[in-house]
Amino acid sequence: MKPIPFNKPFVIGRELSLIADAVSRGHLSGDGHYTKLCNRWFEEKLDCRKALLTHSCTAALEMSAILCDLQPGDEVILPSYTFVSTANAFALRGAVAVFVDIRPDTLNIDEKLIEAAITPRTRAIVPVHYAGVPCEMDAIMDIAQRHKLLVVEDAAQALLSTYKGKALGTIGHFGCLSFHETKNIISGEGGALLINDERFFERAEIIREKGTNRSQFFRGEVDKYTWVDIGSSYLPSELVSAFLYAQLERANEITAQRCRICSAYAEQLAPLEQAGKVRLPRFDADSNGHMYYILLDSLATRTALIAHLKAQGINPVFHYVPLHSSPAGRKYGRVSGSMRVTDDLNERLLRLPLHYEMDDADVSRISAAIRDFFA
């Protein structure tokens, strides 16, 4: 039978012709025609103050960490159940990652545990919108305001998800998006930093341009450009931006297709949830269909189910090794309180194949194979 991969990078529209156009425009480095079109797309469609394309979400997180002006020993609060870059970007600045447990329903940081993790060294909170499902941003922004902390949303999985009508990534001081080929909208590697507080606009441009005021120079605001701050090379090439812009043109369609696949899974797997065999994710209209996972009763069941599906050419995958139990997480971070939910759920979670080119027949075949396993 035809294998069903977990993920499959796809081309939907004008990707290749826009790359050809970028080449013919004769400007291939960053901040040309297509980079500007992408920045404007985010600013308009997400209603965000300022968007800067980067070469990855990791780069956007690193820029945020510099903008937070962290000093060695400062602390940043984040979930342990996340990708490495969420913590590593801050560890690079000498900050300590303070891990807080997640909510059992959304697998997002448990906002009720954040305040207990705050110390005099705390500078920022980094909520991660797991599976594109929003964190409790009202509670998080309220805590941040009362304790004068910055909020960096890791919205890598959350493009076009919303929280109370606002796009994820536009609520905290900073939002970080990813266009890695495993995300909804892709450019191979790619990312963007959304800056929602104008105090940071100028410095963000400088950090992104290797610590120079080159952006101001090109706008004619200074008569020569020079080294003015720390920074690095965070711009994507126009080739990447052109590919990304072609996907942004079709972003609603791509999101709708992923949501359709999630709904089909939910429908087909509902009997298993009713029978108490699996737990299905909360899946509201405000999320972007980034991921479809199931929660099994134990690690043993998950291992057996993976083998059962792989034997039929279906490739599900589990997710993060919690950062608090990783070698670098132990070195550069510490836990605040119990990690009970994180330690429990990470061993039981299984992500099912989900990509743009999947059809109903694929979802039916995968769901039938899962039902068959439990029969």
Ligand X SMILES: *Cc1c(COP(=O)(O)O)cnc(C)c1O
Residue 55 beta carbon to ligand X: minimum distance, rounded to whole angstroms:
8
- Under the criterion CB under 6 A, does residue 178 sit at the interface with ligand X? yes
- Under the criterion CB under 6 A, does residue 86 sit at the interface with ligand X? yes
Q: Which of residues 107-136 bind ligand X (CB under 6 A)?
A: 128
65 vs 369, which CB is nearer to ligand X?
A: 65
85 vs 257, which CB is nearer to ligand X?
A: 85
- Under the criterion CB under 6 A, does residue 153 sit at the interface with ligand X? no
Residue 109 beta carbon to ligand X: minimum distance, rounded to whole angstroms:
12
118 vs 156, which CB is nearer to ligand X?
A: 156
- Under the criterion CB under 6 A, does residue 64 sit at the interface with ligand X? no
Q: Are 147 and 118 in contact (CB under 8 A)?
A: yes
Q: Is 130 strand, coil or helix?
A: helix
Q: Which of residues 240-299 bind ligand X (CB under 6 A)?
A: none
- Cα-based distances in Å from 42 to 53, 163, 191: 9, 16, 11
136 vs 365, which CB is nearer to ligand X?
A: 136
Q: Are 120 and 366 in contact (CB under 8 A)?
A: no
Alpha-carbon distance 195 to 204, whole Å?
8
Residue 130 beta carbon to ligand X: minimum distance, rounded to whole angstroms:
7
φ, ψ of residue 57 in degrees (nearest 5): -70, -35
- Under the criterion CB under 6 A, does residue 191 sit at the interface with ligand X? yes
Residue 41 beta carbon to ligand X: minimum distance, rounded to whole angstroms:
18
User: Strand pairing partners for 351?
Assistant: 293, 317
Residue 58 beta carbon to ligand X: minimum distance, rounded to whole angstroms:
3
- Under the criterion CB under 6 A, does residue 213 sit at the interface with ligand X? no
- Under the criterion CB under 6 A, does residue 57 sit at the interface with ligand X? yes
Locus of tokens 């940043």: 76
Alpha-carbon distance 263 to 287, whole Å?
12
Q: Which of 195, 193, 180, 194 is nearest to 247 (CA)?
A: 180
Of 111-119, 154-162, 295-303, 352-360, the segment contacting ligand X by CB under 6 A is 154-162
188 vs 211, which CB is nearer to ligand X?
A: 188
- Cα-based distances in Å from 94 to 34, 78, 206, 332: 35, 15, 21, 8
- Under the criterion CB under 6 A, does residue 184 sit at the interface with ligand X? no
Q: What's the per-residue H, E or C state across 256-325?
A: HHHHHHHHHHHHHHHHHHHCCCCECCCCCCCCCCCCCEEECCCHHHHHHHHHHHHCCCECCECCCCCHHH
Number of residues binding to ligand X, judged by CB under 6 A: 14
Given candidates 39, 64, 82, 213, which one binds ligand X under the rule CB under 6 A?
82
Tokens of 64: 């945020």
Tokens of 239: 């080739």
- Under the criterion CB under 6 A, does residue 208 sit at the interface with ligand X? no
Given candidates 62, 153, 154, 205, which one binds ligand X under the rule CB under 6 A?
154
- Under the criterion CB under 6 A, does residue 187 sit at the interface with ligand X? no
Residue 250 beta carbon to ligand X: minimum distance, rounded to whole angstroms:
20
Alpha-carbon distance 185 to 157, whole Å?
10
Q: Which of 251, 107, 240 is nearest to 167 (CA)?
A: 251
Of 82-90, 192-200, 238-246, 293-301, the segment contacting ligand X by CB under 6 A is 82-90
Binding residues vs ligand X (CB under 6 A): 56-58, 82-83, 85-86, 128, 154, 156-157, 178, 180, 191
